[in-house]
Structure 1
């Protein structure tokens, strides 16, 4: 049977359609959002108010918190609107804008770069402590962030140009809670698989390469800690590294299954695929303030000082 293209001016988001009751799930997402915003905004305020913390590592942490606040606000608000108000229709152009500017895939890509930069920062600090002040400076971080933003915009714009050529011959229902490249890829009609092959290859290079760099950095940190630290220091270093890697895994593994594996070969249950992406974009922002910041000795001391009644 020959496919017949349909005119698509809007998409319908099929958000957690198999979940019941939706009001209860909405309350859970709202609580997650409030805790996420509180934790990340607290970290931002602590670093901004304490000049001693305005150093490369903490600049990265602040930028990570800004990304997490933006991601959580964009995604969870969209999910809440869909669940609580049953507003699941989004114009096609608005869907593209959401993909490009607010969340999918700009913030995801930027966070991937930032996590890699943070791992490299710790690698240099542990393995080359004497050269660290000259190699990693505030200027170095700012230039790196500017470069990452430019590269991210280029990558996302490339994906958006692909989406503009998509044809839809059977449905305009996206099996996600938000606009996503993979969601459109799942329902688009192709005469060949050039888009699937190209995007999966780019995602594999991008995601796998940065993940390998992060693993390499933390492996070197662990080796250095085991060689130089005392028993307590070794235990603390191992605990910190494995905790960081667990958060990295929560972010990377769902992205790998969602973007590297071609859409045609992914799990057929769209709710599972959608849930994987939600894990990558909702859980890490919730845990990042605790893992990267509030366990940090300097940040805890600053928080105690700022919360002191005398202060």
Structure 2
């Protein structure tokens, strides 16, 4: 598993969760498989539900669909290999396969951030310019903005991968993580790792902080507009339309900001804690988001209530 000659490294080994006893592999595999199914079922349900109900073909729900796609894509890129490791003891990933996985991990993360920015723009226009909302923020506008959110990160993510490929790799080929990402891969380089990591960190901060700045600014202006409303009922009703977006944004950004700030102030985590934290904040929102869409969004909740009521009526009629 260790090589001294840089030309001999043909593959990497995914370490997974460091220090985990083999007796817990079965339990972990079951948990990961349940997580995989929960993410797949929840997000596919949202996609199919919105597509099948024409009344939900609105900007807000189209944005939810794009977010569901990013959650599904991230799951497809990271979880199958991790499940294979603990189920079949298959820890090997090819040299270029690791770089491909790294590209999609960071590409999907950046895309998700920019789509969250589009979602903030949706709420900003809906609340601050309600009379012009239907004219300014159409389905076509959302499709274009979300399309840009998917296409824009490709250029610098390709550059990120090509820059990392210039590193000579030697000694260890063990990825101390559950998947290949920029930091865990570039630390294995023999030289120039600092320069490559600085570039990667800069691009990560751009992908994270530029959307976050816009999101914070948007919701700050929204809060000011809400506080200026004359009635408390109007304020609560308006804020309720932002609840799903705020919860989804909070789940995505807060853990990431905490980890980055902890590193900046010099607080370090052990490898085991760091990996668990990263897995929690990268996978759990994909499970929770569909629940938020269903329980905190009025139109989807109303459609679900109608379906359940119709089924209850049919069931009671058949029982008679």
TM-score normalised to the size of structure 2?
A: 0.85
Question: What does residue range 72-91 of structure 1 map to in structure 2 within 5 Å?
Answer: 72-91=75-94
1:94 is matched with: 97
Cα deviation per residue 1:159-194 (whole Å; 9 max; x = unaligned)? 111121122222000001112112112222224622
Larger displacement relative to structure 2 (51-60 or 196-205): 196-205
Matched with 2:113 is 112
CA contact 2:111–2:149 (8 Å) conserved in 1: yes
| Coordinate RMSD, CA, aligned | 2.8
- CA distance in structure 2 between the partners assigned to 1:148 and 1:12 by the alignment: 32
Q: Is the 8 A contact 2:127 2:238 kept in 1?
A: no
Q: Paired residue for 1:33?
A: 36
5 Å-filtered alignment, 1:256-271, equals: 256=257, 267=268, 269-271=270-272
Alignment correspondent of 1:135: 136
SS of 1:130's equivalent in the other structure is helix
Give distance in 2, aligned partners of 1:143 and 1:77.
31
* Contact 1:250 1:279 survives alignment (8 Å): no
The structure 2 residue matched to 1:68, chosen from 47, 65, 71, is 71
Q: What's the counterpart of residue 185 of structure 1? A: 186
Structure 2 CA distance, aligned partners of 1:107 and 1:277?
A: 15
Q: Aligned residue for 1:281?
A: 282
What residue in structure 2 maps to residue 53 of structure 1?
A: 56
Alpha-carbon offset, residue 282 of structure 1: 0.3
Is the contact made by 1:197 and 1:262 (CA closer than 8 Å) also made in structure 2? no
Structure 1 residue 98: Cα displacement? 2.1
| Displacement of 1:292 | 3.3
Distance 1:203 1:173 in 2: 23
CA shift, 1:288, in A, is 0.9
Assess if the C-alpha contact under 8 Å between 1:182 and 1:259 holds in 2: no
Deviations 1:79-122, CA, capped at 9 Å, x for gaps: 2111222111011111222233xx41121111011111101111
Quick check: 1:257–1:266 contact (8 Å CA) kept in 2?
no
Question: Quick check: 1:204–1:260 contact (8 Å CA) kept in 2?
Answer: no
Q: Which moved more, 1:66-75 or 1:234-243?
A: 234-243
Q: 1:46 to 1:249 in 2, by over 3 A?
A: same
1:217 aligned partner = 218
Q: Check conservation: 1:201, 1:260, Cα contact below 8 A.
A: no
CA gap of 1:266–1:170, structure 2 versus 1, over 3 A, is: farther
Give yes or no for contact 2:244–2:297 (8 Å, CA) kept in 1: no
Q: Write the deviation string for residues 246-285 of structure 1: whole angstroms up to 9, x where unpaired.
A: 542432344457779989x883632333223212320111
The answer to whether the aligner puts 1:250 opposite 2:290 as a matched pair is no
Q: Output the CA distance in 1 between the equivalents of 2:187 and 2:259.
A: 11
Q: Distance in 2 between matches of 1:207 and 1:287?
A: 21
Give the deviation of 1:244 after TM superposition. Answer: 4.2
The question of whether the paired residues in 1 share the 8 Å contact of 2:251 and 2:285 is answered with yes
| 1:4 Cα deviation from its structure 2 partner | 6.2
**Rounded Cα–Cα distance in structure 1 between residues aligned with 2:165 and 2:116:** 30
Moved more, 54-63 or 72-81: 72-81
Q: Does 1:42 align with 2:53?
A: no
